[in-house]
Amino acid sequence: MLVIRRRPGEALMIGEGVEIEILDCTPSQVKLGIRAPKQVTVLRKEIHLTGEQNRLAASQLTPDGMDRLLDGFRGK
């Protein structure tokens, strides 16, 4: 992991097309601005992890399990 110090108004580059600028700093948080090409997905880590967990859970559901789940929603 690279650790660097930046102040508000300063930025760093990742590769050729991603720029991260420090917009504001307080003792409890940092506000970042991210410029990236449209084809680069930028997500908060917790959103990314939730998506992975949802995909994993969906891939483990069998057709029989899906029928039971739907029956539960239908009140059967």
10-residue mean pLDDT profile of the chain (76 residues): values are 94 95 95 96 94 88 83 83
pLDDT score for 76? 67
- Specify the 3-state DSSP secondary structure of 64: helix
pLDDT score for 14? 94
Q: Do 19 and 34 meet the contact criterion of CB atoms below 8 Å apart?
A: yes
The helix (run of H) or strand (run of E) holding residue 30 is: strand 30-35
Matching residue, tokens 């930025």 = 11
From the DSSP assignment, how many helices (H) and strands (E) are in the chain?
2, 3
Reported pTM:
0.66
- Enumerate the domain spans of the chain: 1-38, 43-76
